[in-house]
Amino acid sequence: SRLHTSLLKIKSQLQIPDEAVPSRPGAVPVLSGPCAQPPFIPPQGTRDHHPAQMTLLGRLLGTVVSCFKRHGAAAIDTPVMELREMLMEKYGDNSKLIYELQDQGGELLALRYDLTVPFARYLAMNKITNIKRYHIAKVYRRDSPAMTRGRYREFYQCDFDIAGQFDPMIPDAECLKIVHEILSELQIGDFLIKVNDRRILNGMFAICGIPESKLVTMCSTLDKLDKMPWEEVRSEMVGEKGLSPEAVDRVGEYVQLHGGMDLIEQLLQDPKLSQNKMAKEGLEDMKLLFEYLTLFGITGKVSFDLSLARGLDYYTGVIYEAVLLQQQNNHGEESVGVGSVAGGGRYDGLVGMFDPKGRKVPCVGVSIGIERIFSILEHRMKASREKVRTTETQVMVATPQKHLLSARLKLISELWDAGIKAEMMYRKDPKLLKQLQYCEDTGIPLVAIIGEEELKDGVVKLRDVATREEVNIPREELAAEIRRRLEP
């Protein structure tokens, strides 16, 4: 019957559907003529979220928001589109990935590429010099999508930033604490937070003989080290970027270094690096950062890593990136990074770019890569075959005989008004079995059955779906009884 089919449909929606990611990423839908409508799908690199995915996403974002609030952040929001001119020249080479809106008369607009540049615009526009805020919203990049690995053209960013003039490294340390708290709480496996400082990088490049004009491009080339081996990065630097092989080889020695307080102390003694003013400043701040991280008890998962560069132009100080580590396998091989799940750093110059007088507001922040984490949790959930409830309905209002629609409507209305989450079938005379089956399928724990007898006696039969136990409850006590049974 149609009803049965409907039930099967609902049932299937409770599992994370396999078609969650459209089967045709990459192709453009083919029109077979003006009459037959193509089976429209979302644009390339974007996707719908099904109810089970929304449940999972809700849990995930809940964890992130709780952490941001635990650290005293307030929420803000900015529009999805910005003036095109405002976004340009903030992202270096990546500007070509910005989605532009068509010129339909009026302003020239584009979709935001991240939440950081709009945040800086917001601070400058409102002359805010001191705020701790979080912002969770979607951003847009015309990148080549890799949807199975959680890389999309429309994706969530979860940002926490601290703006203001403060004593060094205290807010920076808090950002790392936040990454540590969120990744620990989500239980997505072992992770490592790599830390570096743009000042140390720039000093290192300088003493290796890289000309100042090449510093920015060096950072974005170095940033590829997590995707390709040093040999390839080296040849890009020598070949495309035209740097001397000797200078690049000197860089090559430094970028292999990673460690903790020991390495910081060692580099502070490095005869060449310690003579560079920028590098020295960066290293001293790095030492302070590690002192604070020691007090936070999180140095075990933090590595000072000279190969970390971060791609974006606007960073000016400490930078960091969290990667998930694959479990050590049986052969005892070392763990390998499987991708960045959080990143950020200090950007002290960005707000000044939007202020007519160039007034600077120092900022440091972190962005949680929710999409990759979501991919991991989604795969895990599919594998475990866990049945996700996508609704929170507490009770099904059911009738055992015909001609009782009025009774159901009246009772469910009383329950809604009492704040109880209740559903009923949208049928005049559904069979009791169908109504009970709906509860089993959708995970509704209780059924409130109202028949002719119950109506006469002023009671409702409350049935526990799991135990099948039934008890008559005076009608006026029903809402309280449901609450008593379900609310902890």
- Distance (Å, whole) CA 225 – CA 54: 34
Nearest distance, CB of residue 4 and a copy of itself, angstroms: 11
**CA dist 307 → 29, 206, 258, 259 (Å):** 43, 15, 8, 11
Q: Is 197 assigned to a binding site? A: no
Minimum distance of a copy of itself from residue 51's CB (angstroms): 4
Tokens of 181: 């708290």
Between residues 202 and 299, which has the closer beta carbon with respect to a copy of itself?
A: 299
315 is in an annotated binding site: yes
**Is 457 known as a binding-site position?**
no
Pick between residue 3 and residue 268 the one whose CB is nearest to a copy of itself: 3
**Sheet architecture: strand order including 302-305:** 74-75, 131-140, 154-163, 363-368, 337-346, 318-325, 191-197, 302-305, 258-259
Distance from C-alpha of 405 to C-alpha of 421, rounded to nearest angstrom:
19
Q: What is the DSSP letter of 169?
A: T
Least distance in angstroms from the C-beta of 60 to a copy of itself: 13
Nearer to a copy of itself, 190 or 416 (CB): 416
Nearer to a copy of itself, 176 or 306 (CB): 176
Q: What are phi and psi of 77, to 5 degrees?
A: -140, 150
198 labelled ligand-binding: no
Q: How far is the CB of 340 from a copy of itself (least distance, A)?
A: 23
Q: How far is the CB of 99 from a copy of itself (least distance, A)?
A: 6
Q: How far is CA 382 from CA 19, 46, 377, 439, 471, in A?
A: 12, 21, 9, 22, 37
The upper half-sphere exposure of residue 63, i.e. CA atoms within 13 Å in the direction of its Cβ, equals 20
* Residue 157 counted as an annotated binding residue: yes
**141 among annotated binding-site residues:** yes
Residue with tokens 């459209």: 22
Amino acid at 260: G
Is position 391 annotated in a ligand binding site? no
Residue with smaller CB distance to a copy of itself, 188 or 353? 353
d(CA 116, CA 160): 10
Q: Which is nearer to a copy of itself, 215 or 486 (CB)?
A: 486
The rounded distance, in Å, linking the Cα atoms of 184 and 322 is 12
Q: How far is the CB of 172 from a copy of itself (least distance, A)?
A: 10
Binding residues are 114-116, 141, 157, 161, 310, 314-315
Binding residues for L-histidine are 114-116, 141, 157, 161, 310, 314-315
